[in-house]
C-alpha cells in the first residue's frame, strides 16, 4: 500500500508530515481491522499493542480498566509480563502516574521516569531503554473506562503529543470493543436466565 502512494524512499520523505500522517492512519486502520475481525478481543488488543511497538510508538504498552467499585484501575492487557507482575499492577485513583491519569481524566506525561516519584513501576520491569512514560485516560460516555499507558524508548523520535494522540485513539478503539463485548455478555446472560 505504501508503494501505491509513490512516496520516495528518501530520508526527508520518511520524516515529512504527510508520510507520518499516512503511516499513522494505516496503523489505526490495521488495529481497527484486528479488533473487528477476531472474536478473541484480548488477543486483538495485544496484537494492536505489538503493532504500536513495531512502529516505534511504545516500548511497552498496558491497558488498565476501571474496577467495578470505581476506586482503582486494574491491568487488563500488557505486553510481555508474568502472572505475578499482572497481580501487582493495580493503581488506586490518584496513585502514581496511572492513577493520576484515571483520577484527573487528563493525560500524564513523565519525561524521565528515573527521577520522577509519580512513576511507581509496580510491575517491577527493569528496562534501561525506556526513559519516558505516558498514561492516557480512556473516556466513554463522559466517564472513565480505563487508562492506556506506554513506556517510551529513549531513542523515540515521536513527540509526546503524537504519542498521546495515538494512545487516545487506540485506547478508545480497545475500550469501545471491550464495552460492546461486555454489553453482549450481559444481554446473553439475561436471555439465558
Per-residue pLDDT band at 2 (split at 50, 70, 90):
very low
Angle at CA of residue 44, ends 39 and 49, nearest 5°: 170
Strand partners, 44: none
Query: What's residue 3's pLDDT?
Result: 43
Query: Looking at the predicted structure, is the pLDDT value of residue 69 above 90?
Result: yes
Question: Among 7-11, 20-24, 107-111, 171-175, which is the least confidently predicted range?
Answer: 7-11
Please list, in sequence order, all residues whose beta carbon lies within 8 angstroms of the beta carbon of residue 102, skipping any fewer than 6 positions away. 64, 66, 73, 91, 93, 94, 137, 144, 146, 147
Architecture of domain 3-182: 2-Layer Sandwich (3.30)
Query: Looking at the predicted structure, is the pLDDT value of residue 106 above 90?
Result: yes
DSSP 193: -
Question: Among 41-45, 55-59, 72-76, which is the least confidently predicted range?
Answer: 55-59
Angle at CA of residue 74, ends 55 and 167, nearest 5°: 25
Q: Give yes or no for a contact between 137 and 106, defined as CB atoms under 8 angstroms apart.
A: yes
Please give the share of the chain, as a percent, with pLDDT higher than 70: 91
For residue 93, which phi and psi values (nearest 5 degrees)?
Answer: -60, 130
| Closest to 158 in 3D by CA, of 23, 32, 5 | 23
Measured CA to CA, the distance from residue 29 to residue 160 in angstroms comes to 21
Query: Looking at the predicted structure, is the pLDDT value of residue 47 above 60?
Result: yes
| Closest to 99 in 3D by CA, of 62, 72, 134, 75 | 72
**Per-domain residue ranges of the chain:** 3-182
Query: Looking at the predicted structure, is the pLDDT value of residue 30 above 90?
Result: yes
Entry pTM:
0.86
Query: Looking at the predicted structure, is the pLDDT value of residue 120 above 70?
Result: yes
Q: Give yes or no for a contact between 176 and 162, defined as CB atoms under 8 angstroms apart.
A: no
- Give the pLDDT mean for 69-93: 92
Angle at CA of residue 4, ends 159 and 28, nearest 5°: 40
pLDDT tens-digit profile of 126-151?
A: 777 778 999 999 999 899 999 999 99
* Sign of the alpha-carbon dihedral angle for 124, 128, 131, 134: negative
Q: Give yes or no for a contact between 82 and 75, defined as CB atoms under 8 angstroms apart.
A: no
Amino acid at each position: 500500500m505504501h508503494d501505491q502512494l509513490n512516496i520516495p524512499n528518501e530520508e526527508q520523505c520518511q520524516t515529512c508530515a504527510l508520510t507520518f500522517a499516512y503511516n499513522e492512519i494505516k496503523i489505526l486502520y490495521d488495529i481497527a481491522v484486528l479488533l473487528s475481525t477476531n472474536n478473541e478481543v484480548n488477543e486483538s488488543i495485544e496484537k494492536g499493542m505489538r503493532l504500536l511497538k513495531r512502529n516505534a510508538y511504545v516500548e511497552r504498552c498496558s491497558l488498565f480498566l476501571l474496577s467495578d467499585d470505581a476506586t482503582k484501575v486494574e491491568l487488563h492487557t500488557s505486553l510481555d509480563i508474568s502472572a505475578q507482575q499482572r497481580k501487582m499492577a493495580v493503581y488506586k485513583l490518584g496513585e502514581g502516574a496511572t492513577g493520576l491519569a484515571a483520577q484527573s481524566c487528563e493525560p500524564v506525561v513523565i519525561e524521565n521516569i528515573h527521577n520522577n516519584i509519580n512513576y511507581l513501576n509496580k510491575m517491577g520491569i527493569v528496562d534501561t531503554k525506556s526513559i519516558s512514560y505516558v498514561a492516557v485516560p480512556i473516556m466513554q460516555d463522559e466517564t472513565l473506562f480505563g487508562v492506556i499507558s506506554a513506556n517510551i524508548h529513549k531513542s523515540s523520535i515521536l513527540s509526546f503529543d503524537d504519542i498521546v494522540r495515538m494512545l487516545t485513539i487506540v485506547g478508545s478503539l480497545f475500550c469501545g470493543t471491550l464495552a460492546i463485548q461486555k454489553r453482549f455478555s450481559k444481554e446473553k446472560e439475561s436471555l439465558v436466565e
